[in-house]
Structure 1
Amino acid sequence: MKFISPKFIRTIAPQLDLLNTIGGGVAQPQLRIDQRPKGVIVRVAMPTVSADSFRVVLNKQQLSVFGEYRHQPDDPLAAPLFMQTLDLPDNLDLARIDAVHEGSELHVRIPFLNPSDQQREIDIRHD
Structure 2
Amino acid sequence: MFLPGNRERKVKIMKLIKDKKFLQNIAQYIDLTNTVGGGVVQPQVKMTKRKREAILQVLLPGISLEQCQVMLDKNQLTVMALHQSEQQQALQIPLFNQGFLLPPFTDFGQVRVEYIGQELRVHIPYLPKGPRFLEIEQPE
What is the TM-score of this pair, normalised by structure 1? 0.75
Of 20, 35, 53, which residue of structure 1 is paired with 2:67?
Answer: 53
User: 1:63 maps to what in 2?
Assistant: 77
User: 1:21 maps to what in 2?
Assistant: 35
**Counterpart Cα distance in 1 of 2:54 and 2:27:** 31
The Cα offsets for residues 9-56 of structure 1, whole Å up to 9 and x where unpaired, read as: 4x7665443222012211111111111112011111120211111110
- Matched residue of 1:52: which SS? helix
User: 2:48 maps to what in 1?
Assistant: 34
Of 114, 119, 123, which residue of structure 2 is paired with 1:100?
Answer: 114
Q: Which has the higher helix share?
A: 2
**Counterpart Cα distance in 1 of 2:65 and 2:28:** 13
- Matched residue of 1:21: which SS? helix
User: 1:90 maps to what in 2?
Assistant: 104
The Cα offsets for residues 71-104 of structure 1, whole Å up to 9 and x where unpaired, read as: 25x9332101111111111111110111111111
Number of residue pairs matched by the alignment: 111
Q: Whose radius of gyration is greater, 1 or 2? A: 2
Q: 1:94 to 1:62 in 2, by over 3 A?
A: same
**Counterpart Cα distance in 1 of 2:27 and 2:100:** 28
Amino acid at match of 1:17: D
User: 1:124 maps to what in 2?
Assistant: none
Once the two structures are aligned, what percentage of the paired residues are identical?
35
Q: 1:12 to 1:40 in 2, by over 3 A?
A: farther
Q: Any unmatched runs of 5+ in structure 1?
A: 119-127
Of 59, 71, 76, which residue of structure 1 is paired with 2:90?
Answer: 76
The structure with higher relative contact order (CA 8 Å, sep 6+) is 1
Q: Any unmatched runs of 5+ in structure 2?
A: 1-17, 131-140
